[in-house]
Amino acid sequence: MSELIFQKQGYLKEFDCKIIEVNKEENAVILDKTAFYPGGGGQPCDVGLLKTSTNEYVIKKVKKKGKNIYHYIDAKLPNIDEDCIGKIDWDHRYKLMRTHTAMHILCGIVWRDYKAQVTGGNMEPLKGRMDFEFENLDKDLIKEIEEKVNKEVENKRNINVNILKREEAFQIPDLIRTKINLLPEGINEIRTIEIEGLDLQADGGTHVKNTGEVGKIKVVDYKSKGKINKRLYIELED
């Protein structure tokens, strides 16, 4: 298994690594450690470069398959045991970090003030959508939510990452905010993201260190997806 650097070092832009396996069918490599996020929980994967002493490879996609992280390239595969430098596309990554934290701010506000659970979500750089168990949602409530999430940006709350034993993690009330618990039974350690004083959730993605980094959040649209399922669309200022 690769060491998952992104779990604790979300701001790492470059890292030393070694190719420990190549997969010709997938045209992908597995590294001994990686800072590339493989996607999940609605957050897209990272992209970037992999540099060896003789070549530079474009990482066009990263995906977790079983216990391995596959880094897909558009070129002839390098050799096993070759030393490399991984380089994250930082503009793409940082926009996703800001967006993901914005989604957690939104989720934290909606849970704290309205006790509405999340039923789904997705994001791309600087925009995303999240579904909640709201029975009624109107323009006045949307405006109220938007004002509250931006207040939390202004509050510049610190964001902490922790990895807890499963038994310890599940003693935390309301750790799982999704309607369905998406954590497989076999996972023994749970990664948590805490926005101090606002939100604490199990989460595997990358985030900024402080809500102030997110920037202004706009709720640009909302839709009814069912009797008690409402969708909010957000965008961030670049």
Q: What's the pLDDT score for residue 180?
A: 47
Mean pLDDT of the chain: 92
Residues 156 and 66 occupy one common structural domain: no
Residue 57 structure tokens: 């490879």
Residues 76 and 108 occupy one common structural domain: no
Which of residues 88, 111, 132 is at a domain's end? 88
Beta bridge partners of 235: 127, 218
Residues 73 and 106 occupy one common structural domain: no
Residues 63 and 122 occupy one common structural domain: no
**Averaged pLDDT, 89-105:** 98
Quick one: what percent of the chain has pLDDT higher than 90?
77
Residues 144 and 171 occupy one common structural domain: yes
**Averaged pLDDT, 118-129:** 95
Residues of the domain holding 24? 3-88
**Averaged pLDDT, 100-127:** 95
Which helix (H) or strand (E) segment holds residue 99: the answer is helix 90-114
**φ, ψ dihedrals at 29, nearest 5°:** -120, 155
pLDDT(220) > 80: yes
Residues 83 and 102 occupy one common structural domain: no
56-85 pLDDT, tens digit each: 999 999 999 988 999 999 899 989 999 999
Residues 132 and 81 occupy one common structural domain: no
Domain count, the chain: 2
pTM for the predicted model, two decimal places: 0.92
Residues 108 and 215 occupy one common structural domain: yes
C-alpha to C-alpha distance for 192 and 199, rounded to whole angstroms? 10
